[in-house]
């Protein structure tokens, strides 16, 4: 087999895993990141909810208190990973970390930055005081031409 045939077979296998409903979001993110690096057309076939930039927000590893002086009660940190190899060189992206109340669907902005060039970083966040007790999906959200794209994330419960 040639390199191209081997790559195509590998991408086909990754897509099969990606498309399984039980596949964890973190696994889907890494499949999308690998696919984007190998073949941007194959990445498009995955129909990622992330849009052009696969993203993953996860609890800080290891979980640790905020790194900022004067941190407020309830703050925690999250790790953000995104794959930007499909973008033009020098492209810088803004990003938002949001919490979506699972019961109501209401979104709360936890963190926003207009121009971040890195692919891996940590942010200190907190649910706003007006957010009711409940479970929240913590994830990356960006907008392009008025359309929202949501990255993969995790569920935070108990508030």
- Evaluate whether the domain defined by 49-159 bears CATH number 2.60.40: yes
- The more confidently predicted of residues 156 and 88 is 156
How confident is the model at residue 159, as a pLDDT?
46
pLDDT of 119 higher than 50: yes
Q: What is the distance between the alpha carbons of residues 18 and 65, in angstroms, rounded to a whole number?
A: 33
Range with lowest mean pLDDT among 14-23, 42-51, 56-65, 91-100: 56-65
Counting residues of the chain whose pLDDT is more than 90, the rounded percentage is 42
How confident is the model at residue 67, as a pLDDT?
54
Does 62 sit behind a cis peptide bond, omega within 30 degrees of 0 on the bond before it? Answer: yes
SS3 letters for 3-52?
HHHHHHHHHHHHHHHHCCCCCCHHHHHHHHHHHHHHCHHHHHHCCCCCCC
pLDDT of 112 higher than 90: no
- What tens digit of pLDDT does each residue of 44-80 get? 999 999 988 899 998 875 455 555 555 566 778 888 8
The residue extents of the domains of the chain are 1-48, 49-159
Range with lowest mean pLDDT among 12-16, 106-110, 119-123: 119-123
Q: What is the distance between the alpha carbons of residues 120 and 128, in angstroms, rounded to a whole number?
A: 25
Q: Give CA 69 to chain center in angstroms.
A: 27
């Amino acid at each position: 087999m040639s390199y191209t045939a081997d790559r195509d077979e590998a991408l086909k296998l990754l897509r099969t895993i990606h498309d399984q409903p039980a596949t964890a979001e973190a696994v889907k993110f890494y499949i999308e990141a690998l696919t984007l690096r190998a073949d941007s057309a194959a990445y498009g076939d995955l129909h990622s909810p992330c849009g052009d930039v696969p993203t993953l927000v996860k609890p800080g590893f290891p979980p640790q208190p905020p790194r900022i002086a004067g941190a407020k009660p309830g703050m925690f940190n999250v790790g953000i990973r995104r794959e930007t190899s499909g973008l033009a060189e020098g492209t810088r992206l803004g990003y938002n970390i949001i919490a979506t109340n699972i019961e109501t669907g209401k979104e709360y902005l936890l963190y926003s930055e207009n121009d971040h060039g890195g692919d891996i970083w940590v942010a200190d966040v907190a649910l706003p005081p007006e957010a009711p007790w409940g479970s929240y999906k913590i994830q990356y959200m960006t907008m392009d031409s008025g359309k929202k794209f949501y990255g993969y994330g995790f569920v935070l419960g108990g508030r």
